[in-house]
Amino acid sequence: MAVTLLRDIDIEALRHLLDRYGLKLQIHEGSGAIPGSFWGDSEAGLILHDVYAREDTPVHSILHEACHYVCMDSARREALHTNAGGDTNEENGVCYLQIILADYLPVGRHRMMADMDEWGYSFRLGSAGAWFDHDAEDAKTWLIENQLITKSREPTWKLRN
């Protein structure tokens, strides 16, 4: 199964979602290195409030980097270049939030989780879906405590303070 790429979705829907967090999608033309990409290849990059991608960038990668921006504190956001950093709790929150935000794109959470599995995200229960449904209470709690989602798992469209 091929993962969902930027060229497979409505780019304006993605721009709108990112804009709600003050992020701007910068589409890098050609096949050259993506600015700010931690993983290289076609993986999304992150520099300050810009998310960089090519048409062949996986949507899960774009959302993952965007969610790092949302979940990091303001001091890290102000100096952000390539490596989002963060601890395990934040990383879990990032994964959980990217699944939630996929419902606001023509991807949806089920396809997002399948793409995460296909790419190689690693979860104790063996899949993103099993983790999200049965083992991610700590991630959900972290996001609620940081006012990034509501108790009903809706995004607040705020950045972590």
Q: For residues 132 and 139, what is the distance between their CA atoms, to the nearest angstrom?
A: 9
CA torsion sign for 37, 92, 63, 47 is negative
Q: Which tokens belong to 64?
A: 């993952």
Beta strands 45-47; 50-53: pairing state: antiparallel
Residue 40, pLDDT score: 87
SS3 43: coil
**Dihedral over alpha carbons 29, 33, 34, 40 (to 10 degrees):** 140
CA torsion sign for 76, 147, 89, 50 is negative
Q: Which tokens belong to 40?
A: 């290289």
pTM as predicted: 0.96
Strand order, beta sheet including 45-47: 24-27, 50-53, 45-47
Which candidate, 155, 107, 77, 100, places its Cα nearest to that of 8? 107
Sketch the domain layout of the chain as residue ranges: 6-145
Positions of the chain with pLDDT lower than 50, given as ranges: none
Residue 19, pLDDT score: 98
Q: Which tokens belong to 90?
A: 């934040």
